[in-house]
Structure formats: structure tokens, C-alpha cells
Amino acid sequence: MGYKPAHSGPSTASNSLRILEIVARFGTGTTAKEITDALQMPPATVYRMLNALVADEYLVRTSDLRGFALGHAISGLIMAAVPPNVSTAARSAIEEFRSGNRFAVHLVLFRNASLKIADEDPDYPLQSASDMLRHPHASAAGKLMLAELGDSAPPFPKGPLMKLTPHTITDRRQLEEQFAHIRAEGQAADINELEQGFSCLAIPVKLPHGTVEAAVCLTGPSERFSAICDHAEAARELASRLAPLLL
Amino acid sequence: MSARRDRFITPHSPVEGLRRRKLAFLPVFAQAVAAVAPAGAMAVIPALVYPTVVPGSASPNLVLTFGAAMAVMILVSFCLRPMAKRMAAVSGLYSYTAKGLGQRTAITAGWSAIFGYGVIAMASLLAVGTYTDQMMINLGINLPNPNISMALVILAATAFACFLMIRGVQISAWFTLMVECLAIGLLTALMIAYFALNTPTLDFEDFFSWSGDPDVLWIGIVVAVSAFVGFESATTLGGEAQKPFISIPRTITWTPILAGTLYLLAAITQDLALHDAPTSIRSSSTPLSDLFAQTSPLLAAVLDLGIAASWFACAIASLSALARVLFCMGREGVAPRIMGRAHASYRTPSVAIMVVMPVVAAVPIAVIFSGTSPHQGLVLFFTLGAYGYLGAYILASASLPFFLHRIGEDTYASWILGAVTPLTLGFVLWKAATVSTDTGNLQALIYAGVLLASVVYALILHLRLPERLASVGVYDESQDSDLFLGRPS
């Protein structure tokens, strides 16, 4: 504890975050009284903020209505902020695969409908990582994720899609057709779509209960894309080895 | 999953079976607006206040009556809001009372609410029948037997309402919203048109002076309150609304204000219009329509259609609220368990709906054939309905401070509000009941009988089936899938 309100009138937004932190720390069942005591804020203010946080599902009330727990709406923030934890076994499996070929090999996780780079190839670091995370429609891993999401989430942002290179597909219907292909073939590719001169093949990592939660990405110069595709089977083997290690 | 979490969060909601958290804001709002039926009420209820108040007294003051009713209803909405922000109730007033004043009192609140919803639904169906008949007459269609055609209209309306409600709250809510918007628009346009054609003599002094007998004001307020009731019916959608803690409080805040504004306008215009009208129109069942018929029968027929549609929407909304209270009681076991069954594919409280519909259709038909005039029937139902709602409002608003105290979030404001509101409501109810009993009306006694029966029933439950009584107060609890890292349901 030891929390005191900031000296210059704390803003509502930061107080809301403090409340969330207290609930995260005290655990499920934290009461309004405990929060008021911990933050030393006027009870009426705390109640108002709690109700606002509950309304937006950042918090939920426990069955007796007295206590609070973290709600599912907070998972977007937490999942995005916390670096993914990849086990040593998974890392060494990837390392072993890297030593057997001359392309970049990355492991990308799908979290809350966005990409998360879990294990980047140290020898060939990703050139356009930030573009890849912001514009999933332009990369192999992103398209794989969008294809797998299907109808369960709105796959595209509103407004026109960004054209990163002349080859980036921005037509929504064309993308939908590609998604159908990707689902049928069980792999996705981008050729010069994310970065001019580079291509990537993404192989899904299917968890035992059937959902695709990650992709093994093989990246290299575009003129060697057919050579990359020759490694598809080996990458698929790696993916099935990784699946139980990513749980 | 820690033991602590398991103790506090249920894996599945106790009211599972309804379509959970899918309804957007507009349909929730539509439910409340339709239950209030502003279009129907602004055409019918001021006219009901008129003759109710008239016997032996000077001309009443509609504006004052409706203003007072609006103030009272806004107080109630202030009381319900904090509870709606904290609990996703499936049966509104009943659930709030259970968490505030306790389970036994909740039974009384629940019965009172059921009585209110049911009687208002009956009144709505009767109004649908009356205004459809009136429309036919205005269109020049000769009705050989108005009673039979009215009964047929009521039966058809009941069947259609039943279909819409079972098919899904989404469909019925959108339907009612559409109907209500059309009806309000139509009515406003027609009122403007009427005054464009018949310029009245304005005397603003009259609006704000009360020249009648102060005692009749109370009955006037109770009837005017019946124009507002239903705004709280959104609180029965806690399980189904997408963001229940946003949409429901917002709905119960704005509906009485919106409806009140419309009524004040309607009251002013009708005060003017009916002031100079002949007595035959003033005491008619459908005064506004008769007034228009003097100018143009076609306009009057359009008006009748709008009013009938609005009352039809009101019947749907009141019945869906009623069905959800019964559904909840069925789940708890204080009503037959079968009522708690939800339709497997439409996910609506279908059994409760099917059980209620025949009763709600039969009573107004019986009233028609008993020789009671539709006007008397409407006054009877609206007054009875208002008693039912007021009783439930009193208990639910008195629950506020206890509800908040129980969860450790009470404030001074909540204690003041929780004392002032029920006392005000109780005073109005008591005054109206005594005045109306003195004049030989039995409505208050009928309602007192319902209250007594509910108390006896709660006592029997308390003695014989305490475990069922203890389960009263189920609501759409947070479930595992609502939690951070929760298992998807």
C-alpha cells in the first residue's frame, strides 16, 4: 500500500488506473471500502469511478455485489503490455531449426487480434516490425491471423487500408478471397507486400484444442521465395513441435 | 483458478437461457419508451384526468397535475439509477427490493409489479380495441356489433404480440420503437395541424392556477403517473443488454424526462382544445379523436391508428417486462418452475409469455362484454395499474439505501433519497386511495387485496419453503467469461 493521492489534483483517468491496480493487487473480491482506504479518496468519488469501470467491463462485481474483480476488457491492455513468455524448450526448438536453413525464422504470437513478436531471428532481425504490428493485412503472419479470426472479430480497421508497397493488397474483397485460400491451404504468404524485396511464408501453430495462436515465419529475399517454400514441410514439423510448448 | 475466485464468481449465470449481453442501447431504450407509450398516453390520459377530476369541481389543471406526476417519477428514477448501475437485474424492481428490503418484501414488490404490468397491458389491449373501432367508424365502415369487433381486434393483437415476444426481444423492441416513433410524430403533427385550423383563445393564466378541489388533485396525479409508468421496465433487460450498466441507467434517467416534456405539451394543447369543446366530447372514451372528427374524419382515423399502434407497443413492452419477472420467479422457485424455462432457440422466456397472454387478453374482453363502457374500463385499468406500479416503486425506492448499505456503498444522499421518495409516493397513493374509496370506487380495495395476498404468500413461503424464499433475488451475475483470463463460456 502506501498510496497517497498525488499532490496536484489527481486526474480521473489516473485514479481509475490506480483503482485497477489495487484490484489487481488485492485480488478478486476487493471491496469499495478497501479501495477507498488504500487510495485515501472520498468514498463517493470511488463509487462513481468503480461504477464507470464496471460499466465498461474493466471491472466486474462479484456475486455478492460487494467485491470487484478484473474484467475481460482489461485484457487488451495487459496482454499488449506484457512481453510474451516463450519457454526455453520452444526457443531451443526454433534455434535448432534456424541452424538448418539460411532464411530468417521468427515466432509471432496472436494475442487479442493483434500480432506479438515472441522470438525474433537474432541473425536477421525484422526490418519492418512496427509496420507489421500496425498493418496486419500486409504481412503473411497478419493475414494468417485475420483469416483464422474469421467472423469472431472485426478483422479490419475502419477507413482505407495502408498501402505499404505497390504490392500491398488493400482491396477488402481480394483479401477475403485470400483468407479463404489461407484457411484451405493452412499457410499464408506475402510477396513484397510488407517490404519491397522481401517475402515471407507463415505456417500456423495449431494448439491441441484447435485454435491457431501463433505463426512460424520464414522470411527472405523475394527472388528466393520458391526456395523458402521448399522449407514449408520442415517448418510445419517445427510448428507441431512448438504447439504443446506454447500452452 | 484460486479458491477465492471460485467463491466469488459463478461459472454460469443463474438466469442462463436468455440471450446474454446482445441488446444494443436503442432496443433497451425502446423497451422503456414503448412501455410508457408516450404517443398513446398523451392522447388518452390527459382526457382521462379530465372526467376523473371533473365531478362536482371546477375545471382541472392538467399542467399542474402532469408536472407533479413528472416530478414524482424523476425522483423514482433517481432512486433506481444507482441500483441499475450495480446490478444486472432481470426482473427490475423485484430484484432491487430483494437485495434491499429482503426477500419477503420482494415478493410483495414482485406481485405489485406483475399486477401493474399486467393491468396496464390489459388497458393497452382495451385501448387498441377501442381506437381500432373508432378508426373504422371514422373511416365510415359500419360495425354491426362494436363489442365483437373490439374483442376480435384484441385477440388478434394478443396473438401478434405473443409471436413477436417469443421470437425475440430484439425484434419486438425494434418493432415497438418504430411504431412509437411514428405514433409520436403523427400525433405531434396532427396537434399542430388542429391548432392551425382552429385557433384557440389563449389564456395563460389558466395553466398555472388550480381552481378545482385539492382532493381530486391526488387522483389526477395517480392517473397522470400511469402515463409515466413503464419507464423502469428497461431494468428487466439487465441480462440481455449489451452494456447493462450504461444503457439501463441512461434509459431510466431520460425516459421520464422525455415523456414528461411530451405530456406537458399535450396537456397544454388539450387543455385548450377540450376547454371549449362540448360536454359530449369531453366525456367521450376517445375525446381527442372526436375533436378531430369534427374537423376531418380522415385525420381522426389517422390519429386513431397512431394511438392504437402506440398502445399495441405498450402492451408488448409491459408484457415482456411481466414475463421476465415471472421467469425470474420461476428460476427461484417462488413461482411454478416451468415459468423459468427459456425458449431453446429464440432464448426468450417463452413459457412465462404463453401463460400470461390468455389472462391478459381475457380480462379486457370480459370487461367489454360486461357492459362497462371502454372509457370506464380504461379509467379502471389505468388507476389499478398505477396503484400496482406505485406500490412497487415505493418498495424499490425504499430499498436504495439498504441495497447500498448491504454492499458497503451507501451515502448520505442515498438515505435522504431513499426516505423522501417512498414517503412522497406513499402520500400520493394514500391520498388517492382514500379519496377514491370515499367516492365509492373499489380500485384501492382490489389493490389492497393483491398486497394482502402477496404478504400471506410470502409468509407461507417463509414458513413452508424457506429455502425457496432464500433464493429470491437472482440476477445476471458476473460469470467466469466476464473476467480477465476467464474461461470462455
Q: Give the gap in angstroms from C-alpha A44 to the nearest C-alpha of chain B.
A: 7
What lies within 8 Å, CB to CB, of B466 at 6+ separation is none
Mutate to test the interface with A, among B409, B411, B477 (most CBs of A within 10 A): B409
CA distance B390 to B400: 16
Nearest to B73 by CA among B389, B318, B413: B389
**Domain presence at residue A63:** yes
**Domain presence at residue A6:** no
CA distance A117 to A246: 13
Judge if A51 and A158 occupy the same domain: no
**Average pLDDT for residues B42-51, to the nearest whole number?**
72
One pLDDT digit (tens) per residue for chain A, 247 residues: 444 444 445 578 899 999 999 999 999 899 999 999 999 999 999 999 999 999 999 999 998 899 999 999 998 888 888 888 889 999 999 999 999 888 999 999 988 788 999 999 998 888 888 899 989 999 999 999 998 887 665 566 677 888 999 999 988 889 889 999 999 999 999 999 999 999 999 999 988 877 888 999 999 999 999 999 999 999 999 999 998 888 6
**Residue B228 and residue B386 in contact, taking contact as beta carbons nearer than 8 Å:** no
Q: Per-residue pLDDT tens for B150-208? A: 999 999 999 999 999 998 878 888 888 888 888 888 888 877 777 777 665 555 555 55
CA distance A187 to B242: 36
**Domain presence at residue A209:** yes
Judge if A112 and A61 occupy the same domain: no
Q: Give the gap in angstroms from C-alpha A71 to the nearest C-alpha of chain B.
A: 4
Judge if A153 and A237 occupy the same domain: yes
**Domain presence at residue A5:** no
C-alpha cell at B400: 436504495
Q: H or E stretch including A60? A: strand A59-61
Judge if A241 and A159 occupy the same domain: yes
**Domain presence at residue A7:** no
CATH code where residue A19 lies: 1.10.10.10
User: Does pLDDT of B275 surpass 70?
Assistant: no
Q: Where among A60, A78, A96 does a domain terminate?
A: A78
- A216 φ/ψ angles, rounded to the nearest 5 degrees: -95, 125
Mutate to test the interface with A, among B6, B8, B13, B403 (most CBs of A within 10 A): B8
Closest partner CB to B9 (pick from A28, A56, A75)? A28
Task: Give Cα separations from B16 to B20, B49, B169, B476 (angstroms).
Answer: 8, 43, 15, 8
Q: Give the gap in angstroms from C-alpha A62 to the nearest C-alpha of chain B.
A: 5
Q: Give the gap in angstroms from C-alpha A114 to the nearest C-alpha of chain B.
A: 17
Nearest to A107 by CA among A239, A215, A238: A215
Reported residue count of chain B is: 489
C-alpha cell at A67: 467485491
Q: Per-residue pLDDT tens for B466-485? A: 999 998 988 998 888 888 87
Looking at this protein, which amino acid is placed at residue B193?
A: A
**How are strands ordered across the β-sheet holding A30-31?**
A30-31, A67-70, A59-61
Count of structural domains, chain A: 2
Q: Tell me the residue range of the domain where A222 lies.
A: 83-246
Judge if A94 and A178 occupy the same domain: yes
Task: Give Cα separations from A163 to A140, A194, B35 (angstroms).
Answer: 15, 9, 51
Judge if A72 and A98 occupy the same domain: no
**Domain presence at residue A1:** no
CATH code where residue A137 lies: 3.30.450.40
The SS3 assignment for A190 reads strand
Record: contact B484-A66, CB cut-off 8 A: no
Residue B4 pLDDT level (bands cut at 50, 70, 90):
very low
Judge if A111 and A201 occupy the same domain: yes
The SS3 assignment for B316 reads helix
Closest partner CB to B409 (pick from A32, A55, A63)? A32
Write down the ipTM of this complex.
Answer: 0.86
**Residue B306 and residue B182 in contact, taking contact as beta carbons nearer than 8 Å:** yes
**Domain presence at residue A4:** no
Record: contact A28-B409, CB cut-off 8 A: no
Judge if A45 and A91 occupy the same domain: no
CA distance B385 to B429: 12
Record: contact A65-B485, CB cut-off 8 A: no
Q: Where among A78, A105, A124 does a domain terminate?
A: A78
Block residue for cell numbers 408484457: B319
Tell me if chain B has a CB within 8 Å of the CB of A86: no
Judge if A193 and A206 occupy the same domain: yes
Judge if A72 and A92 occupy the same domain: no
Tell me if chain B has a CB within 8 Å of the CB of A54: yes
Nearest to B219 by CA among B73, B59, B54: B54
Q: Where among A28, A58, A78 does a domain terminate?
A: A78
- B248 φ/ψ angles, rounded to the nearest 5 degrees: -70, -50
Tell me if chain B has a CB within 8 Å of the CB of A43: yes
What lies within 8 Å, CB to CB, of A240 at 6+ separation is A206
Judge if A144 and A68 occupy the same domain: no
Record: contact A43-B409, CB cut-off 8 A: yes
**Residue B427 and residue B109 in contact, taking contact as beta carbons nearer than 8 Å:** no
Block residue for cell numbers 482491396: A171
Judge if A101 and A71 occupy the same domain: no
What are the beta bridge partners of residue A105? A218
Domains plus CATH for chain B? 25-465 (1.20.1740.10)
Q: Per-residue pLDDT tens for A84-127? A: 888 999 999 999 999 988 899 999 998 878 899 999 999 888 88
Record: contact A63-B485, CB cut-off 8 A: no
